[in-house]
Amino acid sequence: MAYSTISKPSLHFNTHLYTGDGQNSRAVTGVGFQPDFLWLKNRTTAYSNQTFDAVRGATAGTLYTDLTNAADTSYPITSFDSDGFTLRPTSHDSQNANGSNYVSWNWKANGAGSSNTDGSITSTVSANQTAGFSIVKWNGQTGTVGHGLGVKPSFIVVKCISIANAWVGVHKSLGANMNDNYVILNTSAAAGSTTWGGEPTSSVFSINANVAENNNNIAYCFAEKKGFSNFGTYIGNGQTDNSGPFIYTGFKPGWVMIRRTNTTGDWAIFDNKRNPHNVTNTVMYANYNSEDDTNTNNNEIDLLSNGFKIREDNNAINANDATYIYLAFAAEPLVANVGASIPATAR
């Protein structure tokens, strides 16, 4: 059994939906904790994916996952709050259009962070070791950077704050040592081959000019935690419904992002709030500014008690013999290691 010490994943990661009201400084509540990394998207109208974190600060502006732009200070949020967040002082349709639907994906780190000298470059790190997530900020282009996780990361994505540059990511399934390959979050380009400067360790990751700029950079680092998060790969078979691949995660997923790597492919995001029941077919893309994709013949998966099952035969999630990577976070552990240890049930 995939026992987990995290009996309530929603205290560390949670998807929260809200409907815009057009008001200034709108307080969004119901997240369940004070988020340190917020990913926000208008579901109704095509606006870029906005991200914010507590290390840069709520008012520092957004980084767009579908663009290479430096941080856009015209679109901040006001604050991270005990049960959610407060939107920008002057309402904008990208965050709070009256009647529009929004999704927010929220991760807990450890507040504004503190100085970390584990690497050759001093960094500011906000780390949640329990859930395997950290936010890392530093200035520099070549060296090693402390990440604060205490274990080797499974996924890292780096973005320059100060000038335009791609979101450069590395995933444990792209290579044996997480050093020789990369993916770009803001494009659909196939995985590339280039060195990061060295293999990540339990305390640091390496960067060079292939990854970072000689300016302020931010990284979001994730490590697998049993029953809470899972990062892996699968091979598509081009089949539909019951014949598609099943991917075991060891928990009931609440959020899944899938990316084809052997050729072009989009970053397809599914969650259990936009589709509270199976089939799960409402998709958002990290590399596009589009609204919810609800094409039922395009992307369909089932979120199950112990993993997810692919139900469509397309390039984004299940082309025949194609290679995919994924990131998954739990809505519920398969079996928690505390309390009554009641097994999760399917949706």
114 in any annotated domain = no
Model pLDDT for residues 8-61, shown as the tens digit of each residue: 999 999 999 999 999 999 999 999 999 999 999 999 999 999 999 999 999 999
pLDDT score recorded for residue 171: 97
**Are 242 and 312 contacting, i.e. CB atoms less than 8 angstroms apart?**
no
d(CA 26, CA 39): 16
Q: How far is CA 227 from CA 2, 202, 230, 234, 285, in A?
A: 6, 20, 8, 19, 25
What's the rounded mean pLDDT across residues 145-149?
Answer: 98
Instruction: Let me know whether 317 and 282 are in one domain.
Output: yes
116 in any annotated domain = no
141 in any annotated domain = yes
283 in any annotated domain = yes
Residue where a domain stops, chosen among 107, 142, 157: 107
d(CA 53, CA 79): 10
Instruction: Let me know whether 127 and 217 are in one domain.
Output: yes
* Residue (of 65, 66, 63, 57) closest to 85 by Cα position: 57
Instruction: Let me know whether 148 and 93 are in one domain.
Output: no
**Are 224 and 299 contacting, i.e. CB atoms less than 8 angstroms apart?**
no
Q: Is 74 exposed, middle or buried (0-12, 13-18, 19+ CB in 10 A)?
A: exposed
Residue 73 identity: T
Residue 61 identity: G
Model pLDDT for residues 289-326, shown as the tens digit of each residue: 999 998 766 679 999 999 999 999 989 999 999 999 99
Q: Which of 50-59, 102-111, 195-204, 292-301 has the lowest mean pLDDT?
A: 292-301
3-class DSSP state of 258: strand
| Residue 175, pLDDT above cutoff 90 | no
Residue where a domain stops, chosen among 64, 82, 107: 107
Ramachandran quadrant class, 122 (left: phi over 0; alpha: psi -120 to 50; beta: rest): beta
What's the rounded mean pLDDT across residues 109-117?
Answer: 98
Mean pLDDT taken over the chain? 94
The pTM (predicted TM-score) of the whole model is: 0.96
Residue 259, both tokens: 């990316």
Of 5 and 72, the one with more pLDDT:
72
Instruction: Let me know whether 168 and 94 are in one domain.
Output: no
Q: How far is CA 30 from CA 85, 118, 331, in A?
A: 9, 36, 15
Residue 1, both tokens: 């059994």
345 in any annotated domain = no
d(CA 34, CA 102): 18
Number of structural domains the chain divides into: 3
pLDDT score recorded for residue 254: 97
Model pLDDT for residues 206-233, shown as the tens digit of each residue: 999 999 999 999 999 999 999 999 999 9
Instruction: Let me know whether 178 and 235 are in one domain.
Output: no
- Nearest 5°: the CA angle 2, 7, 9 is 100
The whole domain housing 80 covers: 3-107
Residue 91 identity: S
d(CA 104, CA 30): 11
Instruction: Let me know whether 89 and 39 are in one domain.
Output: yes
Instruction: Let me know whether 269 and 314 are in one domain.
Output: yes
